[in-house]
Amino acid sequence: MKFKKIKSYAKINLLLRVTGRLKSGYHNVESLVSFLDLHDEIKIKKTLNNKHKINFFGKFSKGIKKNNTISKLLKILEEKKLLNNQKYLINVKKNIPQKAGLGGGSMNASAIIRFFLINKILNSSKKNILDLAKQIGHDVQLGLDYKNKILHSSGDLKTSLKKLGFFVIVIKPKFGCSTKKIYQGVKSYSKKKIIKNKKDYFNLTNITKSQNDLEKVVFKYYPKLNKVKSFMEDLPNIRLVRMTGSGSAILGYFLTKNAAINAAKLFKNKYKNYWCITSKTI
């Protein structure tokens, strides 16, 4: 049987506000979420083996544990007897860096859920699929489709059909950020600003006036990243610089492809040891 190919796109947070903390220890967050054409490449096929097998390779595959988002997904599906005892061989080429705030692992699980749904391997209600996604990780639900998302502080998730059309440079230092550690460093909370049924949160003015609350925590631990952001804010034709998720990736947003390409060249000349690519929103 031939492999089927899946693309698993990187998630970005255009804004992120931490508005409170739950008794469970998790935080209330509101965010605007979009996706880049930067993607991991997944190949999947049925196997006659008596166990699932997951292989990771590529530039950012080092250190991925056996207990990962894909293995968690398959385990839950097995426990719910939703795979009819069928086993799968899954190969993942990791093009999205880990611990970057780009949701690489979560989006891998999302992509495989979509594959199972499209191929009618899973036949579940939308509510059951959302419950399944949340069992694996909080971000998994975001990648069940690639529409822009509005995440309310209440946990409600709404989609937006607006296309952003941003070209970006994505930079990441050699170190990553622990999501748990960064959230533990949050000492104050923002007011809720995303109101239900407001028409357009995905306009440039609104996004520019917003922020990622986790930046001040990350920059406290890693002051070099604050200097990197300041350098990026002076790049020609840049419209916005913002960290995504809990870091450590920072994105610069542009309105044209050439502007992003030229900015990437300037960045690489200054920061030769940083990973830096150009991409665009999808």
Say if residue 87's pLDDT is above 90: yes
Average pLDDT (130-152) is 96
CB within 8 Å of 175: residues ≥ 6 apart = 99, 222, 248
Say if residue 132's pLDDT is above 70: yes
CA 235 to chain centre: 25
Say if residue 24's pLDDT is above 90: no
- Model confidence at 162, in pLDDT bands (50, 70, 90)? confident
Token pair recorded at residue 119: 């191929």
Say if residue 251's pLDDT is above 90: yes
Average pLDDT (81-104) is 97
Percent of the chain with pLDDT over 90: 92
Say if residue 129's pLDDT is above 80: yes
Weakest mean pLDDT among 41-45, 95-99, 158-162, 178-182: 158-162
In this structure, is the dihedral angle defined by the CA atoms of residues 245, 251, 254 and 260, taken in order, positive or negative?
negative
- Model confidence at 26, in pLDDT bands (50, 70, 90)? confident
- Where are the extended beta strands (E) located within the chain? 4-21, 27-47, 53-57, 87-93, 148-151, 157-160, 167-172, 240-243, 250-254, 275-280
Average pLDDT (40-61) is 97
Say if residue 91's pLDDT is above 80: yes
Say if residue 198's pLDDT is above 70: no
CA distances in angstroms from 276 to 13, 228, 249, listed in the order given: 18, 12, 10
Q: How many CB atoms lie within 10 A of CB 129?
A: 18
Residues designated as active site: 11, 139
Partners of 56 in beta bridges: 92
Question: Residue 197's pLDDT is what?
Answer: 66
Percent of the chain with pLDDT over 70: 99
Q: What CA–CA distance (Å, rounded) separates 15 from 209? A: 9
pTM for the full model?
0.95
Token pair recorded at residue 62: 């080092």
CATH for 162-280, options being 3.40.50.1860, 1.10.238.10, 1.10.3210.10, 3.30.70.890: 3.30.70.890
Residues in the chain: 282
List phi, psi (to 5°) of 248. -100, 10
* Alpha helix (H) residue ranges in the chain: 69-79, 104-118, 126-136, 179-184, 204-209, 215-221, 223-233, 257-270
Average pLDDT (10-35) is 94
CATH class of residue range 4-159: alpha beta
Q: Where are the domains of the chain?
A: 4-159, 162-280
